[in-house]
Every structure is written in structure tokens, then in C-alpha cells.
Amino acid sequence: MSDRNLKNFKMEKKGTALIVFLNNPPVNTLNESFFFELQQIIEQVNSDVEIISVIITTALPKVFTVGADVKELLKKYGSTRKMNNAIENLNLGHKTFDMIEKSPKPFIIAYKGLSYGGGIELGCACDIRIASEDTVFSMPETRIAFIPGYGGTQRLPRLVGCGAAKRIIFTGEPIKAEEALRIGLIDEITPNDKLLERSIEIAECIAKGSPRSLAFIKKSVNEGIDLHINQALEREKMYFMENILTLEWSEGLSAFIDKKDPKFKRIGKVKENVEIKLV
């Protein structure tokens, strides 16, 4: 996977993790080319059996992103409110973040510096969120008569609760890393100079598990969160049964019994075609 043709990103492979650096100086705006390129990266990640997880961070020293490219939006929407352009832009952002959420690979977002607007929405679509001590979060959309349009009004409340989400969005006030951790916007804070190191440690820990099991777990959690608990438990049972049909399950169980480290295949093929019916 090469980043030579990318305008908004740099990439680096570290073991089984792909590190994706936002790299669009001076402030990493989320323009349309950003979304198209990120979609391309996600598609490549999904098809690369050697990549177990993805780390998204920034190549800039003090900025993760300030969010959407407002100048580009103004040009595309125009004073006549070009609604088709607006819908296309919204669909582009939604599709990109949906692809992250639905990817079988775990996505880790590693924030540092200013992390505004769409940067928070990007993180809400990821699986694990960590931040350096100097990270500052904000959703200032209302101050320019916008609303969060890339899933912020839906994913953020599911992550931090309705009250905290409304306060963040309504006020646009900056939130430091400590407060973000307290309300559940992020899962962990690191020293400024340890952010990437800690992200890689998490990715290495993830890589010890079965890639197929990881994919089933991600689907089970993400799909079950919006279901009634009884339906969600049925969904969990379905993915449990699908998982034990994989070669990776056989390898993991055998290695445990033999007290060996499992050697998971990067393609967890199913043993046989079995229709799973839960009673």
C-alpha cells in the first residue's frame, strides 16, 4: 500500500498495524478529497489480510483537524443553496465514516492538538479512542450556523450520552483531554510524546487475537447496541456460532489445549457451509 498518490495522508506499516497520518497542512481540513482518499484506504485495508488494525492520527505537531473545509463548502453550496451539492457532501462523509464502523478491522484514533468538528465525528466511528494530554476538543458548528453533519448528532450521544453531547454541540466550548476522558469521549490519555507508542502497543495487543473473532465481535457490538437486549443477545449467539465454524477457532482452541501460541491464518475460511438457526 503506497501513499505516493495521496494528498491528505501519509501511511506507515508497523507490524500488523497500518498507521494513517492526516497530512494536509496547515490544519488538516476535511475536504472532499480527504473523504475519497480515506475511502480508498479503508477498501485497501479491508482486503489486506496482513493488516489487523488501523491507527488514525496526525502528522502535524499541534493539530489533528479543525473539521470541515468551510471555504470549500461555501464554494460548493453557494448563496443559492445548491442542495444537490450539499446532499452529495453529506453522503460522502456519512459513507466514509460508515465504512470505518462496518470494517472488520479495529480502528484506533489517536488524537493530539486541536481536534474539532469532523475530527470528533471521525473518532465516534472508530473503535478505540485515545488522546495526548494537549488535545483540545470542540464542536463549534453552531457558531457558523451549521450543525454536525457527518453523524455527530447521532454517534456522539450514543457515545457520551444525550446530555453531554448536547452540551458539547450547543456550546461549542473547548474540552480538554481530562474532561473528554471523564465523559467517555476518549478511552485513555497519554503523555504528549507517548501517543503513537501507546497506539502501537494497543494494536500489538489486538494482533494477538483471531482476526475473524475480532470482526465478529465488532459486528456484534455495533449492531447490538441499537437493538433490544433480547434481540442483541440473539445476534451475539449467531456470531458466536459463525465464529466456531472458522479455521481460526480450531487453531485457537487447539493451541490453548496444547499450551502453545496460536498461529492464526489471515484468511479464516469456514469449515463448511452450514445454515445457522437459533432456537
Q: Closest Cα to residue 175, out of 135, 210, 204, 226?
A: 135
3-state helix, strand, coil in the chain (%, to 5): 50, 15, 35
Q: In a 3-state reduction of DSSP, which class is residue 24?
A: coil
Which is the catalytic residue, given 141, 204, 236, 272? Answer: 141
Contacts of 148 (CB under 8 A, 6+ apart): 117, 118, 120, 121, 139, 141, 156, 169
How many helices, marked H, and strands, marked E, lie in the chain? 11, 10
∠ CA 34-38-43, nearest 5°, is: 155
In the residue annotation, 141 being an active-site residue is answered as yes
β-pair partners for 136 = 114, 176
Residue 97 to residue 93: CA distance in whole angstroms:
6
Which is the catalytic residue, given 37, 101, 121, 201? Answer: 121
Residue 180 to residue 191: CA distance in whole angstroms:
15
Catalytic residues: 121, 141
